[in-house]
């Protein structure tokens, strides 16, 4: 179970390596892509201006430093899809990432790109991005049949669902999970919006939209039903406000304020045989990356040292208090350390018009 850290500058490489990063990932958007498509069409799931390296020489420096410590480097090519016109350039970039810069894996999501890369027979691994929404064992095995060596599981999966997949897959393919920073209540793989700070995204505003609820049949509410529906909507809005607005809106980049977190689940992932823990935030400040890495590594080391599984959540939560308030259940990926949650009311027939 390795710790995977993000970067967007060669200057961050040594800092991350010295503080325990066991794998690195980054993006590169070279000038030829920007010149052809401008900044409006993203090569991967981060803005060209904020979350990516800009030159092949930068990428080569990162790889050289990382390989000097036997740490692999992965590069993202994980747009949901590429057009037929774009694919030749994307394939050329992939070849240069691998053959010229020496990266160890490409993080991909578009099945068409995966098939084309399989024919290229590049000397690198293919890692399936969470953008591909591989939500079950059948999906994992399908992509493995296309040549994928690692699957990054979507953050929407529960701990029980991840355990089921890990138990059935075994050693057929490596599994990677999200562990810290950035989150969304919706399934990322089905989202076609971007989250640029100056534009925003539709999902971010949902919690603040007025809504009206009604029965699909048109029948009047029975006593107490409308109150139950409103309670559901309030819970939905609260969850959006936490995992979407706070995670995607502008945050002080020197802190871990309100960052979604899965630290309490680390011993469970260790037991399951998960290959890698993904820290999100290529676009974040160096200080935020460092704080994130040290936080994850502290819990990983306690887990590797044999601290009992039940002792990890209180340890992780106490550790978080030093960098950002931990509110169990509010910003948890997997709810391992959450307090008993309020049960949601069961309402079988209603519609909400947002």
Average pLDDT over residues 335-354: 43
**236 and 103: one domain?**
no
Does the pLDDT at position 90 exceed 90?
A: yes
pLDDT of 183 reads 74
Residue 145 lies in a domain: yes
**230 and 301: one domain?**
no
Residue 294 lies in a domain: yes
Residue 246 lies in a domain: no
**62 and 175: one domain?**
yes
User: Residues 205-240: pLDDT tens digits?
Assistant: 766 777 778 888 889 999 999 899 888 888 877 777
Does the pLDDT at position 11 exceed 90?
A: yes
- Please state the separation of Cα 133 from the chain's center in Å: 11
Does the pLDDT at position 296 exceed 90?
A: yes
How far is the CA of 138 from the CAs of 55, 130, 156, 165, in angstroms?
Answer: 38, 15, 17, 9
- The answer for 99, left when phi > 0, alpha when psi is -120 to 50, beta otherwise, is alpha
Does the pLDDT at position 331 exceed 90?
A: no
**153 and 224: one domain?**
no
* Tokens 């350390």 found at: 337
pLDDT of 197 reads 54
**93 and 220: one domain?**
no
Instruction: Tell me the DSSP string of 147-172.
Output: T--EEE--TTS-HHHHHHHHHHHTTS
Q: Are strands 2-6 and 105-108 parallel, antiparallel or unpaired?
A: unpaired
Residue 290 lies in a domain: yes
**224 and 99: one domain?**
no
Average pLDDT, the chain: 85
Average pLDDT over residues 148-175: 95
How far is the CA of 15 from the CAs of 11, 172, 220, 228, in angstroms?
Answer: 8, 33, 62, 51
Residue 274 lies in a domain: yes
Residue 52 lies in a domain: yes
**Residue 224 is part of which domain span?**
203-240+343-353
**234 and 127: one domain?**
no
pLDDT of 244 reads 63
Q: Which of 68-77, 158-167, 170-179, 200-209 has the lowest mean pLDDT?
A: 200-209
pLDDT of 232 reads 84
Are the C-beta atoms of residues 253 and 292 closer than 8 Å to each other?
no
> Which band of pLDDT confidence, cut at 50, 70 and 90, is reported for residue 16?
very high
User: Residues 102-125: pLDDT tens digits?
Assistant: 999 999 999 999 999 999 889 999
Q: Which of 74-83, 85-94, 300-309, 313-322 has the lowest mean pLDDT?
A: 313-322
User: Residues 246-282: pLDDT tens digits?
Assistant: 555 444 444 566 678 899 999 999 999 999 999 999 9
Average pLDDT over residues 52-61: 95
Rounded Cα distance, 150 and 171, in Å: 10
Q: What are the DSSP E strand ranges found in the chain? A: 2-6, 23-26, 73-77, 105-108, 125-128, 150-152, 174-180, 212-214, 276-279, 351-353
Token readout for 347 is: 């309402």
Rounded Cα distance, 117 and 109, in Å: 12
Residue 193 lies in a domain: yes
How far is the CA of 275 from the CAs of 74, 205, 244, 266, in angstroms?
Answer: 14, 35, 27, 11
**232 and 274: one domain?**
no
Token readout for 197 is: 């700070």
Rounded Cα distance, 282 and 279, in Å: 9
Does the pLDDT at position 346 exceed 90?
A: no
Residue 326 lies in a domain: no
**213 and 91: one domain?**
no
Rounded Cα distance, 185 and 179, in Å: 15
pLDDT of 242 reads 65
**305 and 217: one domain?**
no
pTM: 0.85
For 139, the 3-state DSSP assignment is helix
Rounded Cα distance, 225 and 3, in Å: 47
CATH code at position 128 = 3.20.20.70
**156 and 298: one domain?**
yes
**235 and 168: one domain?**
no
With pLDDT > 70 as the criterion, what percentage of the chain qualifies? Answer: 83
Count of domains in the chain?
2
């Amino acid at each position: 179970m390795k710790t995977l850290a993000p970067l967007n500058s060669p200057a961050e490489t040594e800092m991350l390596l010295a503080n325990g990063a066991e794998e690195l990932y980054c993006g590169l958007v070279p000038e030829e892509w920007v010149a052809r498509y401008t900044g409006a069409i993203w090569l991967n799931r981060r803005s060209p201006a904020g979350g990516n390296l800009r030159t092949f020489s930068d990428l080569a420096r990162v790889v050289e430093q990382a390989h000097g410590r036997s740490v692999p480097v992965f590069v993202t090519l994980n747009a949901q899809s590429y057009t037929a016109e774009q694919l030749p350039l994307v394939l050329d970039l992939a070849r240069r990432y691998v053959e010229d810069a020496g990266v160890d894996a490409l993080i991909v999501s578009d099945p068409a790109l995966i098939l084309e890369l399989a024919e290229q027979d590049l000397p690198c691994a293919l890692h399936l991005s969470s953008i591909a929404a591989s939500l079950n064992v059948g999906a994992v095995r399908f992509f493995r049949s296309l040549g994928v060596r690692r699957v990054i599981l979507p953050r929407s999966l529960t701990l029980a669902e991840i355990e089921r997949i890990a138990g059935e897959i075994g050693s057929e393919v490596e599994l990677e999970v999200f562990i810290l920073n950035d989150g969304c209540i919706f399934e990322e793989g089905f989202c076609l919006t971007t989250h640029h700070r100056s534009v925003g995204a539709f999902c971010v505003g949902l919690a603040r939209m007025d809504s009206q609820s009604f029965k699909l049949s048109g029948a009047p509410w029975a006593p107490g039903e409308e109150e139950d529906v409103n309670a559901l909507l309030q819970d939905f809005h609260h969850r959006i406000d936490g995992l979407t607005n706070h995670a995607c809106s502008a945050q002080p980049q020197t802190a871990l304020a309100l960052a979604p977190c899965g630290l309490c689940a680390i011993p469970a992932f260790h037991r399951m045989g998960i290959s890698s823990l993904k820290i999100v935030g290529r676009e974040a400040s160096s200080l935020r990356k460092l704080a994130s890495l040290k936080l994850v590594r502290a819990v990983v080391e306690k887990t590797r040292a044999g601290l009992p599984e039940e002792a990890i959540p209180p340890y992780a939560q106490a550790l978080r208090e030093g960098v950002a308030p931990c509110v169990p259940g509010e910003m948890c990926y997997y709810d391992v350390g959450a307090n008993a949650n309020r049960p949601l009311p069961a309402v079988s027939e209603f519609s909400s018009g947002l």
